Amino acid sequence: MYLRNVKNLQNKGLDFVVDKLTNSIENAVTNEVFDTEIRRLTIENSKQIKKSDWIFDWHKELKDTTKEVYKLTTVNNNDVIQGLLSIEDKQDHVFMHLIESSKFNKGKSKIYLGVAGNLVAFACKMSFELKYDGVVSFIAKSKLIKHYEQTLGAKLFGGNRMFIDTKEALILIYKYFKNFKP
């Protein structure tokens, strides 16, 4: 697999934890599963994002025309964002710039499991839809490289650069998007 422009990527490294690969998102206490939707977030509907609820500056991401930002919500409540994802079409793969679970889905008292896995699976799905065979790349924080290898099947490309290849992408996609056909 060839990833172009990898050395030009400007990213400090993703710092998300895949707590559990679920079938959607799952209540951390009751184990109840909730169906989700992932929709594009635009500047027009960016009022849903309160800066105080997020570590990253998602308004800045929305202004960058090279990136697309997506929000994960439950089907029954589109107003509450469970997580956000910023991706870029690199013409031969999808690059994940940022991924973040909402503050109530982090730490020991998180409400839902599976948010990060759901968003990564969506990035892989987008890669298939763009005819890139599910290939997704990202830059990982050094301390999380082994975690991404174990939970996502990601492979180290060089330095902190990682990628998810076709086989591993399909495993993730079928976990979250049962009716997907590559």
Asked if the model's pLDDT at residue 70 lies above 70, the reply is yes
- CATH H-level, domain 19-176: superfamily: Gcn5-related N-acetyltransferase (GNAT) (3.40.630.30)
Give me the residue label for tokens 């009751």. 30
Domain boundaries along the sequence of the chain: 19-176
Are the C-beta atoms of 142 and 87 separated by less than 8 Å? no
The predicted model gives 73-92 an average pLDDT of 94
**Phi (first) and psi of residue 172, to 5 degrees:** -65, -45
Coil, strand or helix at 56:
coil
Using alpha carbons only, what angle is made at residue 98 by residues 95 and 103, rounded to the nearest 5 degrees? 155
Asked if the model's pLDDT at residue 124 lies above 70, the reply is yes
Rg (the chain; Cα; Å)? 15
The predicted model gives 9-34 an average pLDDT of 70
Asked if the model's pLDDT at residue 2 lies above 50, the reply is no
Nearest to 95 by CA among 1, 4, 166: 4
The predicted model gives 68-94 an average pLDDT of 95
Confidence of residue 10 (pLDDT cuts 50, 70, 90): very low
Asked if the model's pLDDT at residue 117 lies above 70, the reply is yes
Asked if the model's pLDDT at residue 5 lies above 50, the reply is no
Using alpha carbons only, what angle is made at residue 62 by residues 159 and 92, rounded to the nearest 5 degrees? 45
Predicted local distance difference test score (pLDDT) of residue 6: 37
Q: Which tens digit of pLDDT belongs to each residue from 135-170?
A: 999 999 888 899 999 999 999 988 899 999 999 999
Give me the residue label for tokens 């993703």. 14
Give me the residue label for tokens 């439950």. 74
Q: What is the pTM assigned to this prediction? A: 0.87
